[in-house]
Structure 1
Amino acid sequence: MKIKELEAQLNQLLSAELIKDYCPNGLQIEGDRAVKKLVTGVTATQALIDKAVSLEADAILVHHGFFWKNESACITGMKRKRIAALLNHGISLFAYHLPLDVHLSLGNNAQLAQVLEIADVETIEHVKPAGVLQKGRFTSPIALSKLAQKVETKLARKPLVESGGEFDVQTIAWCTGGGQSFIEQAVAEGVDAFITGEVSEQTIHVAREMGIHFIAAGHHATERYGVKALGEYLAKEYHLDVEFVDINNPA
């Protein structure tokens, strides 16, 4: 598949041009050949790039790519080494940030709901971009301790858990990754619990004082599933050889 053809299909699928983001979405580094072998992963780290080289990949597709807003534009140090490895081996880099968070079937939020078996999923439309914060329910109430165990088992990572009171969890809101700032919007939806990837100091106070259970399950751990699902979609639709590579990250 030609590089620009793959980018066009991804842009259309993820509605990338409609979402204002903190980084460019789409083809970030152009390689020198068509894409047959594609490696997917959460973040375009040196470890992922090195693995793609060893697998003789033509392209890499990630959620966290390069060229973030307010970062230095200079290509030095770690950034130079990463980009040089891609260019020296002719490997293209595709990256989709918010578009991959919010996609209603392949997105990180949608996929996390499937992993945790959350039903009646709804997008909280007034929180932008639409899809970045979602809510749903469990088929029956679950104790916070049992939910924490489920998160740990499913995501293979022990979460940070803060109780908002003595009540079980039936309704829940979530935002994968660094979504802790959405906790007050989750409270406004009247849910019992809020799950995201990260935690800030003030998040704990909000949970305690506003009476909502809070779970920080890991930025990386909550965002494995969107790019993996997207790669599986591309393999099925375009007959690409796709391999998901999970570079462990405890954060």
Structure 2
Amino acid sequence: MAKLQDIIQWCDQTLAAAEFKDYAPNGLQIEGKAEVNKILCAVTASQGAIEAAIDQGADLLLVHHGYFWKGEPYPITGMRGQRIKTLIKNDISLVGYHLPLDSHPTFGNNAAIADLLELEHLEPLDPNERRPIGNIGYLKQPMSPEAFKAYVSERLDYDAIHLPADKTEIQKVGFCTGGAQDFIHKAAAQNCDAYISGEVSERTFYEAQELNVHYFACGHHATEKYGVQRLTKAISQQFNIEYSYFELNNPI
């Protein structure tokens, strides 16, 4: 058993959450029980994840995509109202970390992608960022675009969408998980051979061609399911409490 506030304080400090300008509040979003015996983590605080937390007796739901995003309407009604009502009724805390969990060099989504793809000599995708959201890494050996598509698809367990460029070999790879397709411009500025993100837009097809950077869309959910698991495992070890992961295979 651990105190909720101790967990939040440890996470906030570990992830340097206060140093990020984000689109939603990082940390505790809905306060439940003061004591935590079990954590359930999930990519998104969907109704399915909330119901799983209830079924598994979790006191805290830790996610990458929480609530209260900039631009959302203030009234707590409809789908979001139902989710929040269910959490409060069952006294379950909701904790969300967005950009800090993309960026962290050990627990982050991008760090996990680098490990899975065995990318070496990591550097920031944007040299001006103190805490980089995206990164650049290098393959041990160059690959053809076709071989790299197969490699990425196998390692990330997702049928990657490849938007081709003219380069015949890939070794220098930029990457940023989730909905960061527009960072392909940053990858081009750093002379990357390829760029990986989660989502893809219609405009990205032309940008890959004209910027001459191979683009690989590997799924928003699929590229961001690692950070919450890494962080929650670390919390479990730090505070000696139980945890589990809820997977709802979102194909987007």
- The equivalences for 1:93-172 within 5 A come to 93-128=94-129, 130-172=131-173
Range moving further from structure 2, 12-21 or 162-171: 162-171
Deviation at 1:29, TM superposition (A): 0.5
Once residues 158 and 98 of structure 2 are traced to their aligned partners in structure 1, the CA distance between those partners, rounded to angstroms, is 22
Once residues 197 and 231 of structure 2 are traced to their aligned partners in structure 1, the CA distance between those partners, rounded to angstroms, is 21
Once residues 61 and 3 of structure 2 are traced to their aligned partners in structure 1, the CA distance between those partners, rounded to angstroms, is 14
1:127 and 1:232, CA in 2 relative to 1: closer, same or farther beyond 3 A? same
- For the 8 Å contact 1:135–1:173, the answer to whether it is kept is yes
Deviation at 1:32, TM superposition (A): 2.3
1:42 and 1:127, CA in 2 relative to 1: closer, same or farther beyond 3 A? farther
Deviation at 1:129, TM superposition (A): 6.3
SS of the aligned residue for 1:73 comes to coil
Matching of residue 205 in structure 1 with residue 196 in structure 2: no
What is the aligned partner in structure 2 of residue 219 from structure 1?
Answer: 220
Deviation at 1:246, TM superposition (A): 1.3
- For the 8 Å contact 2:125–2:174, the answer to whether it is kept is no
% identical equivalent positions: 39
What is the aligned partner in structure 1 of residue 65 from structure 2?
Answer: 64
Structure 1 residue ranges without an equivalent (≥5): none
Deviation at 1:104, TM superposition (A): 1.2
Deviation at 1:154, TM superposition (A): 2.1
Deviation at 1:155, TM superposition (A): 2.1
Deviation at 1:128, TM superposition (A): 4.0
SS of the aligned residue for 2:175 comes to strand
How many residues were matched structurally? 251
SS of the aligned residue for 1:230 comes to helix
What is the aligned partner in structure 2 of residue 48 from structure 1?
Answer: 49
Aligned residue identity for 2:57:
E
Once residues 33 and 56 of structure 1 are traced to their aligned partners in structure 2, the CA distance between those partners, rounded to angstroms, is 15
Once residues 176 and 233 of structure 1 are traced to their aligned partners in structure 2, the CA distance between those partners, rounded to angstroms, is 21
What is the aligned partner in structure 2 of residue 78 from structure 1?
Answer: 79
Once residues 142 and 52 of structure 1 are traced to their aligned partners in structure 2, the CA distance between those partners, rounded to angstroms, is 43
TM-score by length of 2: 0.96
Once residues 97 and 127 of structure 1 are traced to their aligned partners in structure 2, the CA distance between those partners, rounded to angstroms, is 20
Deviation at 1:33, TM superposition (A): 3.7
Aligned residue identity for 1:150:
Y
Once residues 100 and 232 of structure 1 are traced to their aligned partners in structure 2, the CA distance between those partners, rounded to angstroms, is 14
Range moving further from structure 2, 233-242 or 214-223: 233-242
What is the aligned partner in structure 1 of residue 7 from structure 2?
Answer: 6
Deviation at 1:7, TM superposition (A): 0.7
**Aligned Cα RMSD in Å?**
1.2
- Give CA deviations for 1:211-239 in whole Å, capped at 9, x if unaligned: 11100101000001111111111122221
Once residues 50 and 57 of structure 2 are traced to their aligned partners in structure 1, the CA distance between those partners, rounded to angstroms, is 10
Deviation at 1:85, TM superposition (A): 1.0
Deviation at 1:18, TM superposition (A): 0.9
Deviation at 1:148, TM superposition (A): 1.3
Range moving further from structure 2, 6-15 or 162-171: 162-171
Once residues 225 and 238 of structure 2 are traced to their aligned partners in structure 1, the CA distance between those partners, rounded to angstroms, is 21
Query: After TM superposition, what 4+ stretches of structure 1 lie above 6 angstroms from structure 2?
Result: none
Aligned residue identity for 2:134:
L
What is the aligned partner in structure 1 of residue 182 from structure 2?
Answer: 181
- Give CA deviations for 1:54-100 in whole Å, capped at 9, x if unaligned: 00001010000000000011110101110111111111010000110
Aligned residue identity for 1:136:
G
Structure 2 residue ranges without an equivalent (≥5): none
Aligned residue identity for 2:197:
T
TM-score by length of 1: 0.97
